[in-house]
């Protein structure tokens, strides 16, 4: 019985030591600044899945705690799709609409 208790105690001590090492490594290796990330979505034609893509990206951003903006790139949208994209940017503050020519200016 004593051998079983010693074995369990050793196992719990090992798990605790690994947990402390994991926390220490996380504190020491954590980056203070976030990497600049932009989620770019090129759109053309009718862009039928545009709303689904934006909502999915927003859901993933909220789950990960990311603040990366979503940039909808107009790569030849039809007029109705362009109107819907403008509505999306009005409804969601972190969603931007840019033309393909404006994307290069965005990175400057």
CB–CB of 81/49 below 8 Å? no
Residue 56's pLDDT is what?
Answer: 93
Residue 101's pLDDT is what?
Answer: 83
38 has a pLDDT exceeding 70: yes
Mean confidence (pLDDT) of the chain: 87
Q: How far apart are CA 66 and CA 62, in angstroms?
A: 7
95 has a pLDDT exceeding 80: yes
The H-or-E segment that residue 28 falls in is helix 2-29
Residue 26's pLDDT is what?
Answer: 82
Q: Where are the domains of the chain?
A: 1-30, 39-106
Q: How far apart are CA 77 and CA 89, in angstroms?
A: 15
Phi, psi of 12 (to 5 degrees): -65, -35
Instruction: Centre a 10 Å sphere on the Cβ of residue 34 and count the other Cβ atoms it contains.
Output: 10
Instruction: Centre a 10 Å sphere on the Cβ of residue 72 and count the other Cβ atoms it contains.
Output: 26
62 has a pLDDT exceeding 90: no
């Amino acid at each position: 019985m004593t051998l079983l208790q010693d074995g369990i105690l050793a196992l719990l001590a090992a798990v605790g030591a690994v947990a402390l090492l994991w926390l220490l490594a996380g504190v020491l290796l954590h980056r203070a600044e976030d990497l600049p990330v932009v989620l770019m979505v090129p759109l053309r034609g009718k862009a039928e899945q545009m709303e689904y893509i934006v909502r999915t990206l927003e859901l993933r951003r909220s789950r990960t705690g990311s603040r990366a903006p979503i940039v909808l790139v107009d790569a030849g949208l039809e007029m109705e799709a362009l109107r819907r994209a403008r509505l999306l940017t009005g409804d969601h503050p972190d969603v931007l609409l840019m033309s393909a020519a404006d994307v290069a200016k965005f990175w400057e």
